[in-house]
Each structure stands twice: as structure tokens, then as C-alpha cells.
């Protein structure tokens, strides 16, 4: 969710067609990765909610830091 939203917000500001295509491909790959995990029972994993929260926090932190570099 976090990564998908981040890529989408980038797409809203990118005019260059080649760069838009690349970022959209990355976004689609992230969504596919998430969907594959869900399809294969990720939500049934012991500690899933904790793991999901950890991944979201790490992703938000990485995005925050990347925007400042």
C-alpha cells in the first residue's frame, strides 16, 4: 500500500514519458508482489499483522529519508 501510493504520487508529477513508464512498471511490480503474497496465504502467517506493520513503517521511513537526500 505505502509503496504503491508513493509511486502513484510520483507519477502525478512526472512529465517525461519514458520515466513515467519506468515508474509505472515498478508500481505494477510492487502491486503484483503484494497480490501474490496475499493469494498464497500471507494473511494466514503467524504474526502477519505485526510483520505488515513493520514493513509499512520501514517503507515510510525509507521514503521519508529518500526525499531528503
pLDDT digits (tens, 9 = 90+) for 10-67: 999 999 999 999 999 999 999 999 999 999 999 999 999 999 999 999 999 999 999 9
What is d(CA 3, CA 27) in angstroms, rounded to the nearest whole number? 8
Identify the CA nearest to 4 among candidates 34, 27, 29, 36: 27
Q: What is the pTM of this model?
A: 0.81
Helix axes 2-11, 17-39, angle to 10 degrees: 160
What is d(CA 19, CA 38) in angstroms, rounded to the nearest whole number? 29
Helices and strands (DSSP H and E) totals, the chain: 3, 0
Q: How confident is the model at residue 1 (pLDDT cuts 50, 70, 90)?
A: confident
How confident is the model at residue 36, as a pLDDT?
97
Mean pLDDT of the chain: 95
Sign of the dihedral through C-alpha 62, 6, 45, 29: negative
Amino acid at each position: 500500500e505505502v509503496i504503491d501510493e508513493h509511486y502513484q504520487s510520483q507519477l502525478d508529477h512526472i512529465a517525461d514519458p519514458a520515466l513515467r513508464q519506468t515508474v509505472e512498471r515498478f508500481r505494477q511490480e510492487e502491486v503484483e508482489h503484494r497480490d501474490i503474497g496475499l493469494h498464497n496465504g500471507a494473511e494466514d502467517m503467524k504474526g502477519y499483522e505485526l510483520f505488515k506493520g513493520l514493513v509499512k513503517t520501514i517503507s515510510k521511513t525509507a521514503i521519508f529519508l529518500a526525499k531528503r537526500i
